[in-house]
Structure 1
Amino acid sequence: MYRSAILSLLATLLLAASCNTTRPAVATVPTPTESSDPTITETRNLDTMTVRPSTNGVITEEEMEGRTQPEVPTTLPPRAIAYNRVHDLLHTKLEISFDWEQEMVIGKATLRLKPIFRPSDELTLDAKNFTFNSITLANGTPLEYAYDDDRQRVTIQLDRAYTRGQEYTIVLDYTATPAASGTAGEAITSDKGLFFINPRGEEGDKPRQIWTQGETENNSRWFPTIDKPNERTTQELYVTVDDRYKTLSNGTLVSSKPAGNGKRTDYWKMDLPHAPYLFALVVGEFAVVEDEPWNGIPVNYYVEPKYRDHAEAIFPYTPEMLTFFSELTGVEYPWPKYSQVAVRDFVSGAMENTTAVIFGEFMNGTDRDLIDVDLNEKIVAHEMFHHWFGDLVTCESWAQLTLNEGFANYSEYLWMAEKHGKDAADYHLLEEWQGYFNSVRNGSPHELIWYDYPDKEDMFDAHSYNKGGAVLHMLRHYVGDEAFFNSLQHYLERHKFSAVEVDELRMAFEDTTGEDLSWFFDQWYLSAGHPRLRITTDYSDGSVAVTVEQTQSTDDNVPAVFKLPVDIDVYVNGTAQRHRVTVDQREQTFTFAAAGRPDVVVLDPHHQLLAEYDYQKSAPELAAQYRYAPAFLDRYEAVGLIGRTEGGGEFEEEVLTAALQDSFYAIRGVAVQSLVDPTPVQLERVRAIARQDDRSQVRAAALDLLTQLEDEQLAPIAREAMEARSYTVVAAGLQALVATDPEAATKAAAVLEEIDNEDISGALADLYSSSGDLTKLPFFESRLESVDGYAALGLYTAYQSLLAQGQSAEQTTGVSRLKEIALDQSQTPWRRLAATKAISDLRNSLAERVESMGDAGDLNKLILEMGTSLEAIKAAETNTDLQNIYQQF
């Protein structure tokens, strides 16, 4: 599963919510800063240890004196274990139809099972909020059953005790109403299991759809099963729908037959066993776009009809990835088809249902919308890799979730390196590190294999995903590529179609390498946290000394000492001498011969280590690092930090001038954003970027800089941008045109209103908000429920800014519309946040107006109403992240 943006971008949401600003400039490129990029900042404030253990990590008797002894526990700690299986679910046959008006599933489930080891005359199934018409054996013999008080599990008395190897079949006739239950979470914002979208056609032209989201244990809200990750079953699904709808499920479509009254029954069959949470069903009016078969298996894309011609841009490189991952793992894609679909109002980012991947509507767009957008391909890679790690080999319990999500996360790195080069992959890895470090900064670290999690849904965090992928990257670097991928092949082949725990992954690597790797798995999978390293260097008498001190706090099961095999590059006269060391003490000094004073010393030149650094480099060292060190992160760090380093001067000019022509777009972008008063040479390079850079975001950043500088050549450059194919560049060009030719900008804006693109809408919103043209309020209102993500924050902020310039009647109507969106828990978290923030900002703006002009009856009344609305919104909000943010309003 790909987590929704609200999790991975929480730090940005917090910042945006606390600042009353207009939307950020179009398509900015992240710049390394002390607050947002802990992995590369050279002046970090690290935790101070109140008691420092000796260098071997052992606390002496002297250190123990005077301490209060910890209380001796009297009970065992909580521990999430794998589900204790009594029966083996062999096969599931479902016959399903729907009552759209009541949002009801009408179903019959035929389940074939057998006891695993001990004889049993009783079967317990997960079946949440069902009404059972009957439960019988296959021959029709009625069976007695008891339903839990909370209607979550049904216990069935079998006709006799069955022994190991004896199969039996039961039939359950039932109805289920998933909408009547379900709660909101964070990674998965609702656990109803099966969702009706616009079921009664009351939401205008919004498509009517049905789709499922089973992870973690929510498919048992629409069919009875043993809803645990260590269960596996083959599957048949007969689904009856109106003829106008397409259906999608796991496996292959065997038949499609008329069912009378304008209906049709589709029969889907999955012959290979998979976990119940991976069952999927989608119903809707989709265009089905067939790609070329891959090794004889169907590859297709389900999209809304208007996106028919853009399906391959929405789900890019799918056949190419199937080949790449098959060859990389040494295990050919094992399933009978590969289908992908984008649905409305999806409650997560995307979900790896076996052969039937479901994505949120954020994937949709035209080929112009998706120019330079690499998010889509990362998510396609993530969900596809799950078909090996998660679907073929499945974590046995949710405590082991990183065995699914860590691999899927790392597939994004693997794909980016294959398709776009190592710089692109390392840039992605940096973003993953940032997500993990930010999550630890906002909470407590925990183990990757987290046996005492508060709730299974808490496993879907930046540990299981970001840290899990980063740990695999370290393991790959330690054992080498050949051993790493051979180990993965061994692991997959040994455990295919079964559930696994982390020790089985460790043993696969030990079988391949012959090395005991318990130290690695203990410190990275079974312990919490990561190292924090303070690094200093000293040169004298032909040798350089590098001191590495581990300063991490030892709270929350974080090791006092990590074992870190790592390289150190010492650059002298532009040439690196590499030294392999192992950091395995709290503080260590490594001394190397050097022919002269080093230009710069680089710890971990491969940049594979998951660690935070306090490593202060001078401007000459940063300049040398940009000149000589080849890795993306070395160059990125030098460009981002040199302007904040004392004595930068000529070194800053040298680095930024060179970086404007760097081979990788993110470094060019950081260089553009770092310029304040560019030299003539730098200015000419910025103009060239604005005209022709091959990355839209960087070109847009250059246009924005030239606009701020009021560059004399901006007018023709802006007009060129208006002709670009990328909407990102067009939007930046419009903002530049406003500064140089307002009349032309106004004419262009009228044409651009017809384009449904977030960058264009954002540029128009800025223009209209600044103009104070109240006739443009309908423009905003037509887009409030289609914009999402960062773009929602920008558009809603511009909307309230324009409302603030209007009359009380317009403001009252606008606030009512915003409140409606903020209270609607089916809206995305971004929209709810944007609407709530807009109400808060408008209230503050109007309060300032009242204070400056004295009594204003209508405004006072509206301000009070907005305060009441904010309290109602806070009370109604179900998302924990948003609840925390709303405390600022």
Structure 2
Amino acid sequence: MNKTRLLTLLLTPAVALCATTTLFAQQSQPDAPELKIYRETAAKVNDLVHTKLDVRFDYKKHYLYGKEWVTIKPHIYPTDSLRLDAKGMDIKNISIVKAGKLFPLKFKYDSLSLAITLDKKYRSTESYTIYIDYTSKPDELKTKGSAAINDAKGLYFINADGADKNKPTQIWTQGESESSSAWFPTIDKPNQKTTDEIVMTVPAKYVTLSNGRLAAQKLNADGTRTDTWKMELPHSPYLFMMAVGDFKIYKDKWRNKEVSYYLEPKFAPYAKDIFGFTPEVMEFYSQKLGVDYPWNKYAQIVVRDYVSGAMENTSATLHGEQVQATRRELIDGKPESEVDIVHELFHQWFGDYVTTESWSNLTVNESFADFSETLWAEHKHGKDAGDEHSYQAMMQYLNTPGANAKNLVRFHYADKEDVFDVVTYQKGGRILNMLRNYLGEDAFFKGLHIYLTQNAFKNGEAQQLRLALEEASGLDLNWYFNQWYYGAGHPELKIDYKWDEATKTETVYLTQTQAGNNFILPMAVDIYAAGKKERHKVWMRNKADTLTFHVASAPDLVNVDGDKVLLARKTDSKTLDQLVFQYFNAPLYLDRFEAIDAATKQQENKGAQKILLAALKDKYFNLRIKAIRAINLTNADVKAAALPILADIIKNDEKTLVKAAAINALVKLNDAGNLPLFKQSINSQSYAVQAASLNGIASLAPADALKIAKSLEQDNTGTLTEAIVKLYISNGSDAEIPFIAAAFKRAEPQAKFNMLQGYAKVIARATDTKVVEGSVDDLKAMAIRYKPYGAIPYITQLLENIKAQKVSTNQTEQVKYIDDALEVLKKNQ
């Protein structure tokens, strides 16, 4: 499960304060009674062996009519009873299957679980098969989602009646964490594993997808088709999946296994462009882990209205529509899609092949998938890209209120959904990356190989991971796991320096300023002096440690955490001169990032200017963008030096996002002499470059910009759409409101949040009641969908502001409609 995309919403300036404050106000307080409950691993009284489902769908009622044959055996102790999770179903028949015949069994049902009395007491050497005839009613089920998964009804009918002509009709499932039992009775716990067979009868015009292989297809006389999917290796119930709809399938291949991509027909021509690197990732992970991709196929499908980022269903990953893109959209790159794809693929090993035994140990699923994002970025795009991704993830954790109070392995929580957070994902990924650095590549990946092979098709927890890494490395790792896995927080590390010329001694003072215990920190300290770098491996074991180094001459730089892997918030007292040296001599992304950061705040300093001007040509494109956005062009000397570089970037840089950043830098100058450049660049194939150019034209010639924007209405997306919307909000008329509303409706979550305030202003000034009502509906739906991020109070305030404007202009019908929406949001608070 990937939630990275949704978490970025918390960092949006317009809503950050509201979102973070509200989100964590909703979390249980430290002394809440539920946090005192020990969340034990689910007891295994009975074990799933095989699950066979035969399902049909009622598109009108949003029902699933199911028949199930589930084979089970007692785990160890004899038992004459069985409990199955079954949420919100109608149960018509439960029988034991004997010699092909059904014998009814007694059962009790409380709408959440089935308590079944078996026909006899079974021993662990005996298996039995239960038949269940049932109806699943997902839309009638009251559920609670989480920050990672904003709904939990298991089975989803999308545009089932076809009323929305702009949306396809689809059915899909979402099992994590325990929602598969909303569409079939099962023991819905991650420590269960079962093979399965899923038989789906659907309208013959539709395509189906499920786990494993497509074993059979049969056309029926009534215009339906029956597809049989078989998963012949055991996996957990939450990883079961189904999808039904009008999808085009692109067939690819990894070694001798089928790799396929299921997309809406509109995006089918771009299947290879979007997903085509998948076999390369499969090969890389297989080689790195020493365990070949373990399933018989790998499919990826993109669906509408998905409730999270993506989900690693065994052999059949389901993605939200954010990964879809045209070839032109991909010109600017779509790194968030690449992250989703590689994250879910790594889960096929960590999560599916070996599955967490309980949600308390979710780290052995999600921390690994998060870590894999850095691993792939390094491999494919270079170390700078991997380091950047890891740093951004660390900052998401560090900037999330309350996260430092939570253990990575969590045996106490209010709700299992609470474990899907920045501690399990972003912090956990960084903990693995530190461990990799400490142990070294060979030992670390040998340990992962041991963990995977010892626990194949079974369940794992953090202690098994520790033992595997200890076996591989020959080192004791209890201290590391006790500190990072079973403890909370992180070091707040203050770093100071002192050079003594008389004794030729460099002293480094390390102080951990966080409350509570100290962290044991192995790290590298690099000393640059007399044109050479000398590396020292040191340990910080106390709250305050003093390190001394004898050096022949005063160091140009002392670089603590030379590998830049520590999970810590650092306050480093390096001088700007030292950071200038660091930018030009230390090799890593964060070495240069830190120098650019410091230079940004001291731009009157010649050393800072030297850093920023050099960074305009940095080897890594995102650092070029950082420097472009930071550099102060109001300084005459800086401007004179920077403008030729920016001109060259706009003409020659290989990255369109860097070109766009350079154009946006020129926009701020408000120089009419740049208008021809902006008008020339508006013809770029890059949406980002077009967006920047439109911003420039709008700042100098708004009337021209409006005409150009009209010509771009038929082909725009992302930042270009946002630029058009911004222009229409500031300079347009009511005639542009339908475009703004349509753009808002189709925007991805982050873009929606970016547009919110401007969109609210448009609704406030709009006079067309139907347009206003539709827009209010959009805001209401957004508030409810992103409730976990504090969206309801923020959007409620926007609606109150819109209402005040409508009251002042006596638009009583619109006021009444807004009041109704506010009442709905109040009930959903």
Structures share fold, TM-score greater than 0.5: yes
Aligned partner letter, 1:280: M
CA shift at 1:574, angstroms?
Answer: 4.5
Contact preservation (8 Å) 1:800, 1:842: yes
The answer (yes or no) to whether the contact 1:533–1:613 under 8 Å persists in 2 is: yes
Separation in 2, partners of 1:497, 1:679: 61
Shift of 1:578: 1.5
Q: Which of 796, 819, 823 is the equivalent residue of 1:872?
A: 823
Could you tell me how far apart the structure 1 residues matched to 2:688 and 2:537 are?
A: 45
Q: Which of 691, 703, 711 is matched with 1:731 structurally?
A: 691
Correspondence for 2:557 = 600
Match of residue 657 from structure 2: 697
The CA distance in 1 between the partners of 2:680 and 2:799, in whole Å, is: 37
Q: Give the letter aligned to residue 498 of structure 1.
A: K
Which residue identity lines up with residue 5 of structure 2 in the other structure? A
Counterpart amino acid of 1:699? K
Question: Are 1:823 and 2:774 an aligned pair?
Answer: no
Match of 2:11 in 1: 11
Rounded to whole Å, the distance in 2 between the matches of 1:409 and 1:659 is 29
> Which among 192, 200, 213 is matched to residue 174 of structure 2?
213
Q: Match of 2:76?
A: 117
Q: Is the 8 A contact 1:351 1:359 kept in 2?
A: yes
Deviation at 1:13, TM superposition (A): 6.1
Superposition pairs for residues 128-207 of structure 1, below 5 Å? 128-139=87-98, 140-149=101-110, 151-181=111-141, 182-207=143-168
Q: Which residue of 2 aligns with 1:644?
A: 601
How far apart are the structure 1 equivalents of 2:798 and 2:306?
29
Matches of 1:833 and 1:870 in 2, distance apart? 17
Give the structure 2 partner of residue 586 of structure 1.
543
SS at match of 2:559: strand
Once residues 193 and 310 of structure 1 are traced to their aligned partners in structure 2, the CA distance between those partners, rounded to angstroms, is 29
Contact 1:235–1:271 (Cα < 8 Å) also in 2 = yes
Paired residue secondary structure (2:291): coil
Alignment of 1:51-130 (within 5 A): 77-130=36-89
Q: Does structure 2 conserve the Cα–Cα contact (< 8 Å) formed by 1:131 and 1:176?
A: yes
In structure 1, the residue matched to 2:272 is 312
Structure 1: how far apart are the matches of 2:616 and 2:325? 30
TM-fit CA distance, 1:377: 1.2
Contact 1:251–1:268 at 8 Å: present in 2 too? Answer: yes
Percent pairwise identity: 37
Quote how far apart the aligned CAs of 1:543 are: 0.9
The aligned counterpart of 1:653 is 609
The answer to whether the aligner puts 1:262 opposite 2:213 as a matched pair is no
The size of the alignment, in residue pairs, is: 809
Cα distance in 1 between the residues matched to 2:826 and 2:798: 19
Identify the structure with bigger relative contact order (alpha carbons < 8 Å, sequence gap 6+). 1
Query: Judging changes above 3 Å, is the alpha-carbon distance between structure 1 residues 846 and 819 closer, same or farther for their aligned structure 2 residues?
Result: closer
Aligned counterpart in structure 2 of residue 548 of structure 1, from 504, 510, 534: 510
Tell me the amino acid that sits aligned with residue 352 of structure 2.
D
Partners of 2:170 and 2:244 within 8 A in 1: yes
What is the CA–CA distance in structure 2 between the aligned matches of 1:828 and 1:664, rounded to whole Å?
Answer: 37
Q: Is the 8 A contact 2:362 2:424 kept in 1?
A: yes
Shift in Å, 1:866:
8.5
Aligned to 1:663: 619
- Aligned residue for 2:360, secondary structure, equals helix
User: Match for 1:533: what amino acid?
Assistant: L
Change in CA separation of 1:125 and 1:832 when aligned onto 2, cut-off 3 Å:
closer
Provide the rounded CA distance (Å) in 2 between the counterparts of 1:679 and 1:374: 32
Deviation at 1:443, TM superposition (A): 4.9
Asked if structure 2 preserves the Cα contact closer than 8 Å seen for 1:143 and 1:157, the reply is: no
Q: Distance in 1 between matches of 2:814 and 2:304?
A: 35
Secondary structure of residue in 2 paired with 1:142: strand
Aligned 8 A contact 1:819 1:836 in 2: no
The CA deviation at 1:832 is 11
The residue identity in structure 1 corresponding to 2:82 is L
- In structure 2, the residue matched to 1:379 is 340
Aligned to 1:745: 705
Whether the 8 Å contact between 1:839 and 1:866 is mirrored in structure 2 is: no
Alignment of 1:512 onto 2:469: no
* Distance change >3 Å, CA 473–CA 110, structure 1 → 2: same
Task: Find the counterpart in structure 1 of residue 809 from structure 2.
Answer: 858
Change (3 A) 1:857 1:485: closer
Superposition pairs of residues 612-631 of structure 1, within 5 angstroms: 612-631=569-588
Say if 1:772 and 1:841 are closer, same or farther in 2 by CA, change over 3 A: farther
Check conservation: 1:823, 1:832, Cα contact below 8 A.
no
Give the Cα–Cα distance (whole angstroms) in 1 for the partners of residues 412 and 796 of structure 2.
40
Specify whether residues 839 and 216 from structure 1 end up closer, same or farther in structure 2 by C-alpha distance, changes over 3 A only.
closer
Q: What CA distance in whole angstroms lies between the structure 2 residues aligned with 1:624 and 1:753?
A: 48
Classify the secondary structure of the residue corresponding to 2:322: helix
Q: Deviations over 1:92-148 (max 9, x none)?
A: 111000111111110111011111211111111111112122111223343333334
CA distance in 1, matches of 2:85, 2:741: 44
Amino acid of the structure 2 residue aligned with 1:641: A
TM-score by length of 1: 0.87
Contact 1:289 1:311 in 2 (8 A): yes
What is the distance in 2 between the residues matched to 1:627 and 1:75? 53
Equivalence for 1:237: 198
1:413 and 1:425 in contact (8 A); partners too: yes
Contact kept, 8 Å, 2:466 with 2:481, in 1: the verdict is yes
Change (3 A) 1:458 1:73: closer
Question: Which residue identity does 1:264 align to in structure 2?
Answer: R
Tell me, in whole angstroms, the C-alpha distance in 1 between the residues paired with 2:311 and 2:781: 24
For residue 837 of structure 1, report the CA deviation from its aligned partner: 5.5
For residue 12 of structure 2, give the secondary structure of its aligned residue in structure 1: helix
**Coordinate RMSD, CA, aligned:** 2.7
Give the drift of 1:689: 1.9
Distance 1:672 1:819, change over 3 A: same
Contact kept? 2:737, 2:762, Cα under 8 Å: yes
* Equivalent residue, structure 2, for 1:787: 747
Q: Quick one: which of 469, 472, 484 aligns to 1:524?
A: 484
Q: Deviations over 1:779-804 (max 9, x none)?
A: 11233321122322344433333445
User: Which structure 2 residue ranges, 5 or more long, are not aligned?
Assistant: 21-30
User: Is residue 2:286 matched to residue 1:286?
Assistant: no
List per-residue Cα deviations over 1:346-385 (Å, max 9, x = no partner): 0111000001100111111102112321111111110000
Distance of 2:783 and 2:295 partners within structure 1: 34
Cα deviation for residue 332 of structure 1 reads 0.4
Q: Which string of whole-angstrom CA distances, capped at 9 and with x for unpartnered residues, describes residues 800-857 of structure 1?
A: 3344555xx34x555432321233379753999889857745754896x89xxxxx85
Moved more, 208-217 or 3-12: 3-12
| Distance (whole Å) between structure 1 residues aligned to residue 732 and residue 662 of structure 2 | 27
Offset from partner CA, 1:153-187 (integer Å, 9 cap, x none):
11111111111211111111111101111233221
Question: Taking structure 1 as reference, are residues 265 and 746 closer, same or farther at Cα in structure 2, changes over 3 Å only?
Answer: same
Q: Decide which of 421, 426, 449 is 1:466's aligned counterpart.
A: 426
Distance (Å, rounded) in 2 between the aligned partners of 1:331 and 1:701 = 42
TM-score, normalised relative to structure 2: 0.93
Mapped partners of 2:282, 2:38: distance in 1: 38
The corresponding residue for 2:357 is 396
- Counterpart-to-counterpart distance in 2, 1:694 and 1:658: 17
| Structure 1 match to 2:376 | 415
In structure 1, distance between residues paired with 2:749 and 2:686: 19
Q: Structure 2 vs 1, CA of residues 735 and 230 (structure 1 numbering), >3 Å: closer, same or farther? A: same
Q: What amino acid is the match of 1:87?
A: N
Is this contact kept in 2: 1:89–1:112, CA < 8 A?
yes
- Distance in 1 separating the partners of 2:89 and 2:315: 28
Distance, in Å, in 2 between the alignment partners of 1:286 and 1:867 is 38
Give the Cα separation in 1 of the matches to 2:181 and 2:802.
49
1:363 aligns with 2:323: yes
Report if aligned partners of 1:339, 1:355 keep a CA contact under 8 Å in 2: yes
CA pair 565-112 structure 1, distance change in 2 beyond 3 A? same
Instruction: Write out per-residue CA displacement over residues 391-448 of structure 1, whole angstroms, 9 at most, x where no aligned residue.
Output: 0000000000010000000110010001000000100001100111122x34552111
In 2, Cα distance between equivalents of 1:835 and 1:818: 16
Q: Distance in 2 between matches of 1:401 and 1:831?
A: 20
> CA separation of 1:876/1:537 partners in 2, compared to 1, >3 Å: closer, same or farther?
same
Instruction: Report how far residue 737 of structure 1 moved.
Output: 2.4
* SS of residue in 1 equivalent to 2:68: strand
2:489 maps to a residue whose letter is G
Separation of aligned partners in 2, 1:799 and 1:524 = 44
